Amino acid sequence: MKVAINGMGRIGRLLFRRLLGQEGIELVAVNDVMPVDNLVYLLKYDSLYGPLQKKLVLEGDCLHIDGYTIRAFQQEDPSRLDWKSLQVDIVLECSGRFSTKTGAEKHLASGARKVLLSTTGSEDIPLLIYGFNQHQLDASVDIVSPGGCMTNCSTHILYLMQSIGIESAHFNILHSYTSRQELVDTAHAQFRRGRAAAESIIPVEIDLVKSLDRLFPLKGRLAAMSIRVPVTNGALTDITLQMKEDVNREQVNAIFRKAAESDYASVLAYTEDELVSADIKGNTHSLIIDGSLTSVVGKQVKLIAWFDNEYGYTSRMLDWLHYWKSFL
């Protein structure tokens, strides 16, 4: 399988690193409007995951690493990229700019066979969460939204807790600050996002409920908010669920412990260790249920789930690439 990455932000650059060791998958091209020498620098040195442990050399518009040659483009419009000549099977659309069907189809028009977004796309793009409903993929699907990191965490919690019965659920996601915030106070359409990210705890608007409404028959019974906190990596989902019947802490924890030991092992982990956010850096799971923090009052359940918003999410994108190979 030959893949290309469009958009070399946090997710695109981490995928670059991780794709180098994927059997049966060859990264043949990347595209971003930043100067290529700046891209090489950011690929070599990462403040979260450390220096690249491979030799990366730039020659003209080509990146040489581990015996591979990867073309580097600076094209703002994907329709002007020649994916066909590079025989690109799947484009990883990581720019955040082409998440509508019309936008993603520009890659198909340029010769790519399929497109995998790095976010939740428009409603006319299938929303398929790995480990939940990836089996709905068929050969006719050309563009897939794998959801976002918060959706991947939340989906599995709702699905597993539905075995008891959910009346309502509220997701409060404490999330590290991102590039969509600011380092110092400045103007922003969402006023709070314009405040200095490393200086405050900042509530921000998210569209998680819209995604979950597409996956579960719980419309009108879900709510979500996100609070950005002054750390550079990691997230904690604080979920309050109102159940249809009385439950107890042991019963709830048993559901997630069993899932983590069986079919969900690759996407869900369970722990009772006293973790902090630094402990999940580099964790490949979509969520790590912290059973030590589960609490129950009557029909109300409080759950805490950790996730590395970058490493866990890129792990699911890699899962998707391997899964999609059999359809090409």
User: Residue range 4-22: average pLDDT?
Assistant: 96
> Rounded to an integer, what distance in angstroms lies between the CA atom of residue 11 and that of residue 252?
33
> Rounded to an integer, what distance in angstroms lies between the CA atom of residue 165 and that of residue 180?
36
Q: How far is CA 92 from CA 171, 173, 221, in A?
A: 28, 26, 33
Confidence of residue 274 (pLDDT cuts 50, 70, 90): very high
Confidence of residue 249 (pLDDT cuts 50, 70, 90): very high
Q: In terms of CATH architecture, what is 149-309? A: 2-Layer Sandwich (3.30)
pLDDT over 90 (residue 242): yes
Plot region of 300 (φ>0 → left; ψ -120 to 50 → alpha; else → beta): beta
Weakest-pLDDT range from 111-115, 203-207, 240-244? 203-207
Q: Where along the chain do the CATH 3.40.50.720 domains lie?
A: 2-118
For β-strands 222-229 and 268-271, DSSP reports them as unpaired
Mean pLDDT, rounded, of the chain: 96
For β-strands 166-176 and 235-243, DSSP reports them as antiparallel
* Token output for 117: 């977004």
Given the structure tokens 């069993």, which residue do they identify? 258
- Residue 191's Cβ-count burial label (10 Å; 0-12, 13-18, 19+) is exposed
Is residue 288 a contact partner of residue 261, using CB atoms and an 8 Å limit? no
Task: Quick: pLDDT tens for 164-175.
Answer: 999 999 999 999
- Residue 66's Cβ-count burial label (10 Å; 0-12, 13-18, 19+) is exposed
> Rounded to an integer, what distance in angstroms lies between the CA atom of residue 72 and that of residue 35?
10
Query: What's the pTM value of the predicted model, to 2 decimals?
Result: 0.95
State the fold for domain 2-118: Rossmann fold (3.40.50)
SS3 call for 69: strand
Q: Is 94 a catalytic residue?
A: no
Confidence of residue 328 (pLDDT cuts 50, 70, 90): confident
Helices 149-161 and 249-260: angle between axes, nearest 10 degrees: 120
User: Residue range 151-166: average pLDDT?
Assistant: 97
pLDDT over 90 (residue 182): yes
User: Residue range 168-188: average pLDDT?
Assistant: 95
Q: Where along the chain do the CATH 3.30.360.10 domains lie?
A: 149-309
